[in-house]
Every structure is written in structure tokens, then in C-alpha cells.
Amino acid sequence: MLNIRPINKDEFEVQSHSNPDTWYKVNLINQSCSCPHYRTRLKYTGGTCKHYTDLLNHVNEIQDKFVDTFKQIEKEIKQKVTVPWDDISDKYGEDTVKQMIRLGKIYESKRGYLSIL
């Protein structure tokens, strides 16, 4: 299984297919990657590498799986501007809240409170 970890709302680290000790920095907005294939070839042609594709597929799978829940959480937060983390995680689950933060849908605006980006 391929591993992906967030760096910030636009950047993630994607584990190498061939070496599990190697991680590449992938930027969703710039469609760039720190892998050698992207840096030496694809960067100049406008193409994307398999790490970018892996990340995009991962993000799409999560969004498809949780689209209704994400919309409901966003609606609740928008109504109040900020909502205590515990209120949302108790209702929808801590993993769902963490996924939304990883995807850049919401953020912890101040300690223990969630807001919309």
C-alpha cells in the first residue's frame, strides 16, 4: 500500500514505489514532484509523474467517500464561523476531521476550534 502524508494544505509526501525509505514532495497546485523523473523530464513538458497521479487518486477517493459528510461538516462550521473540535469529532469521528484537515477543507483556527479555509 502506498503511503501519503500531508505537509500543508497543498503539499504532501508520497512514498516511492520502489524504495519505501524514499518520500517525494508533491504539490497539488503546481502539479509538481521532487522525484527525479519529474525534475529531469516532466517539469519541462508539463507532464505529471506517477506520484502526483497517486496523490490525486487518493484525494479523489477520500472526497468521493466522504462528500456528503464533508458538506454537512462545512455547513455546520460556516453557520458558527468556528466550532469546537470535540463537537465535530464526537458527531462525525476524529478520523473524518483529520481527513478534512489533510485535504485542506478545514483547519484548526485556534487551539481546539475548527474553521473553514
pTM of the model: 0.63
Query: Nearest-CA neighbor of 105 among 61, 57, 73?
Result: 73
How many domains is the chain built from?
1
| Structural domain boundaries, residue 22 | 4-116
Angle, alpha carbons 32-36-42 (nearest 5°):
50
What is the distance of C-alpha 15 from the center of its chain?
14
Q: Say whether pLDDT at 1 is over 70.
A: no
For 11-37, the pLDDT digits (tens) are 999 999 999 999 999 998 889 999 999
For 73-102, the pLDDT digits (tens) are 999 998 988 899 999 999 999 888 888 887
